């Protein structure tokens, strides 16, 4: 069962909480690119310590952490706000920043060990997402060695920074064991009968694998969406396990009515969950468009047959979205990566983690974020949908993605004026967005014009 909450029950502190704390402790700082910086920094031959914690635990441990760092006159980098902290924990700043809520710059091996020993009891009382590719020193503290390298490049000296685990263990001042190295590596088998063979995606909200099923000795390919405790946790204390539970619940409800990957099974325990779906052979729209661009083809240079095919695929997508809306379900993550085109040109919709059932009002509040470039402004503002309007914004972005190399200036001056009008009007405010049926009618007329 997924956790239900209300907006007023958000466990997140105010968005100025971290800055207010810096002022309270008398710590001078600068702000740059969503980060608070204190002190001076050196990346050469030094250890960086990373502290991971849940957004809800931020204020609980930040005050004693920052007081300890202030006394030692340590330099550090801190997420600017709880919202930034949430983004870091969800992987929105990239997989290399995942979970790195607080970064501490040490001056020597001895200081790195002393700081770690001082901060360990403070951080052991909370939880946080795992940071990948580091030395795991304790429950929530991780470390990497940083160095600056100089090298010749076309007659000039350039510099580059590397952060890594030293291969020479004599350079590691911390007490470590095998678990310090192997904690982030993928499982060799999930749920006792699924062997991962390929990582499809990996981020702060879990990992999706292509796997081989050993169930009934079928050896069939499947898709496994796997998530661990605290991955993708939101302001209401829900994490990827709640998202997968909701996706399983909704997928079971609609899979006989909507073309989507069928559910094989869903399992969960205290620390992790996995949702197993049938493997569907096909290509995403983004990969198809990339292939066209790699052939130096754009919408203007495509032949009529290719244009008709692309617009026909888009029509099928609109049919699926319309079918969802008829069932009062808003997908909220319509993007070029969430539709598969099979070898027989069937269109399959994927990924219902962010979907919202309007009648049942589930989940409440809806899960947040979405695909950058496709998510509607109201969704970015955490508004709870009371109609299908968020899904009327995304099709315009999807149409643009479906037309190879359609730049903004082409949208404004396109010879395909009717297509450019669809894109521009659908990006308008919710009340001014045209209904899907009107968009479908325009696309159908466009296809007919190419068939003449």
Q: Where are the beta strands (DSSP E) in 138-178?
A: 141-153, 156-164
Helix/strand/coil for 122: helix
**pLDDT tens digits, residue range 200-215?**
887 777 889 999 999 8
| Banded model confidence at residue 380, pLDDT cuts 50, 70, 90 | confident
CA–CA gap between residue 222 and residue 194 (Å, rounded):
8
Q: Exposure of 176 by Cβ count < 10 A (0-12 exposed, 13-18 middle, 19+ buried)?
A: middle
Q: How high is the mean pLDDT of the chain?
A: 82
Q: Report the top-level CATH class of 194-278.
A: alpha beta
pLDDT value at residue 408: 37
Residue by residue, DSSP assigns 291-336 as: HHHHTT--TTTS-HHHHHHHHHHHHHHHHHHHHHHHTTEE-S---T
| pLDDT for 69 beyond 90 | yes
Query: According to the model, what pLDDT value does residue 25 have?
Result: 94
Percent pLDDT > 70 in the chain is: 82
Token pair 């030293």 in the structure block, residue: 166
Does residue 372 sit in helix, strand or coil? coil
* pLDDT higher than threshold 60 for residue 83: yes
Chain centroid to CA 422: 28
Confidence of residue 403 (pLDDT cuts 50, 70, 90): low
- The three-state secondary structure class of 406 is coil
The tens digit of pLDDT for each residue in 241-257 reads 999 999 999 999 999 99
| End-to-end Cα distance, the chain | 54
Q: What is the CATH number of domain 7-180?
A: 3.30.2430
State CA 178 to chain mean position distance.
Answer: 29
- The pLDDT, as a whole number, for residue 293 is 64
Mean pLDDT value of segment 79-91: 87
Return d(Cα 427, Cα 425) in angstroms, integer: 5
The better pLDDT of the pair 398, 127 is held by: 127
- Burial class from Cβ neighbours inside 10 Å (0-12, 13-18, 19+) for residue 218 reads exposed
Identical fold, 7-180 and 194-278: no
Pick the residue with more confidence: 257 or 271?
257
| In the chain, domain spans | 7-180, 194-278, 283-451
Contact yes or no for 185/200 (Cβ under 8 A): no
Confidence of residue 412 (pLDDT cuts 50, 70, 90): very low
Confidence grade of residue 420 (pLDDT, cut at 50, 70, 90) = low
Give the span between the Cα atoms of 148 and 308, in whole angstroms: 53
Least confident of 11-25, 40-54, 55-69: 11-25
Instruction: Specify whether the CB–CB gap between 421 and 443 falls below 8 A.
Output: no
Residues across the chain: 452
Is the pLDDT confidence value at 405 over 50?
no
Output the pLDDT for position 324: 94
Give the integer Cα–Cα distance in Å for 38 and 200: 38
Name the residue with higher pLDDT: 228 or 402: 228
pLDDT at 116: 95
User: Is residue 354 helix, strand or coil?
Assistant: coil
Fold of 283-451: Transferase(Phosphotransferase); domain 1 (1.10.510)
Confidence of residue 433 (pLDDT cuts 50, 70, 90): confident
Residue 348 has pLDDT above 50, yes or no: yes
Per-residue pLDDT at 153: 57
Distances (CA, A) of 98 to 91, 183, 320, 410: 5, 15, 34, 37
Rg for the chain, CA atoms, rounded = 25
Whether pLDDT at 429 is above 70: no
- pLDDT of res. 8: 45
Alpha helices in 99-214 (DSSP H): 109-123, 178-182
Predicted confidence at residue 413, as pLDDT, reads 36
Q: Is the pLDDT of residue 35 over 90?
A: yes
What pLDDT is recorded for position 310? 84
Lowest mean pLDDT among 333-342, 372-381, 423-432: 423-432
More confident residue, 259 or 10: 259
SS3 182: helix
Q: Which residues contact 396 (CB under 8 A, 6 or more apart)?
A: 422, 423, 424, 425, 426, 427
């Amino acid at each position: 069962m997924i956790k239900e909450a209300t907006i007023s029950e958000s466990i997140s502190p105010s968005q100025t909480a971290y800055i207010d704390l810096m002022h309270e402790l008398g710590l001078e700082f600068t702000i740059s690119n969503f980060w608070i910086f204190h002190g001076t920094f050196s990346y050469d031959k030094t250890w960086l310590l990373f502290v991971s914690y849940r957004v809800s635990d931020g204020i609980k441990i930040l005050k004693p952490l920052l007081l300890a760092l202030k006394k030692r006159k340590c330099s550090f980098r801190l997420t600017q706000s709880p919202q930034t902290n949430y983004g870091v924990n969800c992987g929105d700043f990239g997989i290399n920043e995942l979970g790195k809520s607080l970064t501490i710059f040490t001056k020597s091996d001895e200081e790195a060990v002393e700081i770690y020993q001082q901060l360990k009891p403070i951080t052991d009382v909370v939880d946080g997402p795992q940071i990948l590719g580091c030395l795991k020193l304790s429950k929530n503290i991780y470390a990497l060695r940083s160095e600056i390298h100089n090298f010749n490049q076309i007659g000039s000296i350039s510099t580059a920074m590397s952060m890594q685990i030293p291969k020479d263990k004599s350079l590691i001042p911390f007490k470590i064991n095998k678990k310090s190295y192997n904690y982030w590596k993928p499982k060799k088998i999930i749920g006792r009968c699924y062997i991962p063979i390929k990582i499809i995606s990996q981020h702060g909200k879990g990992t999706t694998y292509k796997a081989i099923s050993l169930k009934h000795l079928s050896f069939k390919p499947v898709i496994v969406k796997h998530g661990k405790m605290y991955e993708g946790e939101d302001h209401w204390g829900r994490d990827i396990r709640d998202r997968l539970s909701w996706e399983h619940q909704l997928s079971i409800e609609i899979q006989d009515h909507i073309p989507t990957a069928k559910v094989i099974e869903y399992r969960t325990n205290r620390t992790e969950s996995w949702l197993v779906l049938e493997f569907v052979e096909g290509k995403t729209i983004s990969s198809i468009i990339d292939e066209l661009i790699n052939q130096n083809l754009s919408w203007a240079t495509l032949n009529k047959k290719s244009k008709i095919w692309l617009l026909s695929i888009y029509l099928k997508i609109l049919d699926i979205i319309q079918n969802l809306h008829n069932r009062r379900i808003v997908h909220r993550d319509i993007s070029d990566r969430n539709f598969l085109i099979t070898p027989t040109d069937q269109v399959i919709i994927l990924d219902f983690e962010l979907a919202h059932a309007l009648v049942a009002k589930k989940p409440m509040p809806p899960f947040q974020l979405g695909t950058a470039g496709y998510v509607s402004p109201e969704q970015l503002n955490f508004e709870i949908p009371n109609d299908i309007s968020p899904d009327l914004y995304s099709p315009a972005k999807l149409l643009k993605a479906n037309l190879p190399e359609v730049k903004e200036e082409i949208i404004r001056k396109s010879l395909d004026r009717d297509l450019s009008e669809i894109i521009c009007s659908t990006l308008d405010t919710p009340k001014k967005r045209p209904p899907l049926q009107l968009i479908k009618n325009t696309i159908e007329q466009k296809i007919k014009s190419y068939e003449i």
